[in-house]
Amino acid sequence: MEAIGEVRGNPRENLQSYWLKRRWPDDTAVRARIVDFALYRREGTKTRIMLEAIEEAFGHKEKVEFDKLLIEHVLPQTISNNSAGRNWKAMLGENWSEGHEKYVHTLGNLTLTGYNPDLSNSSFEMKKDLLKQSHLDLNKYFTDFDVWNADAILARSKKLVEEVIRRWPRPLSDVQYAASAEAMSPSSTVREK
């Protein structure tokens, strides 16, 4: 709502100026931070907008009915001690809990699907089989993987972030990007002793 008050004679320019003042990150910052940013947990609505825009970027001639799709966590939000949970733990490795916490809500682990209730907390093998049936290009990515772990999630995040940057490029500006402490990666923040 605040941005609307900034719109005057040149709406595009006015909005860009507004967002630049509000720390619109540059491409380098987006590439560095989005790979391990808990996007879904922190920005659920923006996550959906990004995933829909990435799917639209494939240039479908047929309209995708986004209102019938849900966001799916390929690596499930909850890992139990059943057979599927044990498969996920093995796939993630010895420090599975830390990897799960770090990557579960990141862009690389998220997709859109109408199969969400069927996928639930299933094993990756079962999810992959159901995602093969999807008509979304976003889901074709998973067919080439036998393992869905931190490395696979990071690789997909790096691929998707390029489309995010292509869809929402930061305008050329003299305004330099300075990350807030909150936007900084946990590994790049300085902690006082």
pLDDT of 95 > 90? The answer is: yes
Tokens of 128: 């992959």
Which residue in 73, 88, 82 sits closest to 41, CA to CA?
73
Q: Which residue has the tokens 């993987």?
A: 145
Q: In which band, very low, low, confident or very high, does the pLDDT at 19 lie, cut at 50, 70 and 90? A: low
153 touches 108 (CB < 8 A): yes
CA distance between the termini of the chain:
40
DSSP symbol at 49: H
Tell me, yes or no, whether 1 lies in a domain: no
Rounded to an integer, what distance in angstroms lies between the CA atom of residue 81 and that of residue 89? 9
Kindly state the average pLDDT of the residues 166-181. 70
Measured CA distances, 66 to 13, 30, 113, 126, 144 (Å)? 29, 25, 9, 23, 25
Please report the pLDDT score of residue 35 as a whole number: 87
Which residue in 151, 186, 156, 169 sits closest to 30, CA to CA?
169
Tell me, yes or no, whether 7 lies in a domain: no
Tell me, yes or no, whether 10 lies in a domain: no
Which residue in 184, 172, 54 sits closest to 108, CA to CA?
54
pLDDT of 24 > 50? The answer is: yes
Q: What is the pLDDT of residues 43-75, one digit of tens each?
A: 999 999 999 999 999 888 888 899 999 999 999
Please report the pLDDT score of residue 179 as a whole number: 66
Which residues constitute the domain of residue 58? 23-169
104 touches 77 (CB < 8 A): yes
Tell me, yes or no, whether 186 lies in a domain: no
Please report the pLDDT score of residue 30 as a whole number: 86
Q: In which band, very low, low, confident or very high, does the pLDDT at 14 lie, cut at 50, 70 and 90? A: low
Counting the structural domains of the chain, the total is: 1
Q: How many CA atoms lie within 13 A of 162 on its CB side?
A: 5
Tell me, yes or no, whether 179 lies in a domain: no
Tell me, yes or no, whether 81 lies in a domain: yes
Rounded to an integer, what distance in angstroms lies between the CA atom of residue 33 and that of residue 189? 12
Distance of CA 139 to the CA centre of its chain: 14
Please report the pLDDT score of residue 77 as a whole number: 96
27-34 vs 150-167: helix crossing angle, rounded to 10: 150
Strands, E assignment, the chain: 70-73, 110-113
